[in-house]
């Protein structure tokens, strides 16, 4: 749950300008969908949010503070591929974040701490529809299940912002619809601000509170290098959609719950997750 501000952000690779004049505010608990044609810099924008790349000009602020220059536990991520670790079982994948947090030197938990983490991970796995798969390796799971696992793994660590890089792009339509329901539910029941890059407009409009289109304003061949893409459309979904804060652990911060809620298809209140301090 964090506000993000882009302050006149540019991204250039040498002479090539990819993104220019990106200025926008993202309110806490928003669900942003970034859309646009291939090569318009959606993923670059996401990678800057992730800390994997730095803006050439301008800055990105999270809750008023400049973004750290490398990825950290405040920002979870799910990629289209390679999001889960192939050498860990499903359960180990989900527990990893907890182990990394609590065991700085060994990176492993033992005894009671391990059991507690495992219990929590099993609960979370059941939430995302992976009950009974705990002992399998990711390669034994279908693509949709792997992405569910990746979501559970990211959420287990309790990030403030969740970044999704075409996470459902490679899935069959039926499976995608299921995982969309899951995604909505996770967004409703955790304290996440979500930024999702997608190719799929119906996915963008179906999930997000706000759809942002990136586009090159000038696209003639001789202009292509010197003019980057920028925000061409910034659409608030109507009727307004906002996260329902069902978790009783934390009171709703002011300004995040609004009236006129849309019907939420998720199951209520099942996910009990505390926000990380």
Partner 1 sequence: MRLVNLRPGRQTRFYLLALPFVLVAIAYFAGSSARLAQNPNDKLLPALPSMVQAVKQMAFEVDARTGGYLMASDTVASLGRLGSALAISTAAALVLGIVIGLLPGANALLGPFVSVTSMVPPLALLPILFIVMGLGENSKIALIVIGTLPCMIRDLAMKVQELPREQIVKAQTLGASTWQIALRVAMPQTLPRLIDVLRLQLGPAWLFLIAAEAIASDSGLGYRIFLVRRYLAMDVIIPYVAWITLLAFLIDVGLRVMQRRLFPWFASVRAE
Task: Tell me how far apart the alpha carbons of residues 87 and 137 are, in angstroms, rounded to a whole number.
Answer: 7
Q: Which is nearer to partner 1, 51 or 206 (CB)?
A: 51
Q: Which is nearer to partner 1, 73 or 270 (CB)?
A: 73
Q: Which is nearer to partner 1, 1 or 213 (CB)?
A: 1
Nearest to 22 by CA among 71, 58, 75, 63: 58
Q: Closest approach of Cβ 103 to partner 1, in Å?
A: 8
Task: Tell me how far apart the alpha carbons of residues 41 and 34 are, in angstroms, rounded to a whole number.
Answer: 10
Q: Which is nearer to partner 1, 79 or 227 (CB)?
A: 79
Q: Closest approach of Cβ 142 to partner 1, in Å?
A: 13
Q: What is the CB-side half-sphere exposure of residue 47 using CA atoms within 13 A?
A: 12
Q: Which is nearer to partner 1, 12 or 53 (CB)?
A: 53
Q: Closest approach of Cβ 79 to partner 1, in Å?
A: 5
Backbone angles phi, psi at 174, to 5 degrees: -65, -45
Q: Please tell me whether residue 179 adopts helix, strand or coil conformation.
A: helix
Q: Which is nearer to partner 1, 8 or 72 (CB)?
A: 72
Nearest to 128 by CA among 245, 271, 249: 271
Q: Closest approach of Cβ 108 to partner 1, in Å?
A: 8
Give contact residues for partner 1 (rule: CB under 8 A): 50, 52, 70-73, 75-77, 79, 81-88, 96-97, 99-101, 104-108, 137, 139-140, 153-154, 157, 159
Q: What is the CB-side half-sphere exposure of residue 58 using CA atoms within 13 A?
A: 20
Q: Closest approach of Cβ 101 to partner 1, in Å?
A: 5
- Angle between the 90-102 and 143-156 helix axes, to the nearest 10 degrees? 20
Nearest to 212 by CA among 240, 231, 192, 193: 231
Q: Closest approach of Cβ 2 to partner 1, in Å?
A: 14
């Amino acid at each position: 749950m964090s506000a993000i501000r882009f302050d006149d952000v540019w991204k250039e690779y040498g002479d090539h300008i990819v993104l220019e004049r990106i200025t926008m505010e993202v309110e806490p608990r928003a669900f942003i969908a970034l859309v646009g044609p291939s090569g318009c810099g959606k993923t670059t924008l996401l990678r800057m949010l992730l800390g994997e790349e730095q803006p050439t000009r301008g800055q990105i602020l999270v809750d008023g503070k400049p973004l750290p220059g490398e990825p950290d536990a405040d920002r979870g991520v799910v990629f289209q591929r390679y999001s889960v670790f192939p050498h860990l079982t499903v359960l180990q994948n989900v527990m990893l974040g907890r182990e990394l947090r609590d065991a700085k030197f060994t990176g492993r938990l033992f005894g009671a701490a391990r059991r507690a983490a495992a219990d929590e991970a099993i609960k979370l796995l059941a939430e995302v529809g992976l009950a009974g798969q705990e002992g399998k390796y990711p390669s034994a799971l279908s693509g949709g299940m792997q992405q569910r696992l990746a979501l559970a793994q990211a959420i287990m660590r309790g990030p403030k912002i969740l970044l999704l890089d075409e996470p459902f792009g490679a899935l069959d339509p039926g499976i995608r619809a299921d995982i969309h329901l899951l995604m909505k539910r996770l967004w409703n029941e955790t304290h996440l601000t979500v930024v999702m890059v997608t190719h799929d407009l119906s996915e963008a409009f179906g999930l997000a509170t706000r759809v942002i289109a990136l586009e090159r304003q000038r696209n003639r061949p001789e202009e292509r290098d010197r003019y980057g893409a920028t925000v061409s459309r910034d659409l608030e979904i109507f009727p307004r959609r906002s996260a329902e804060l069902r978790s009783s652990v934390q009171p709703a911060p002011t300004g995040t719950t609004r009236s006129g809620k849309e019907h939420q298809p998720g199951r209520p209140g099942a996910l009990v997750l505390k926000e990380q301090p």
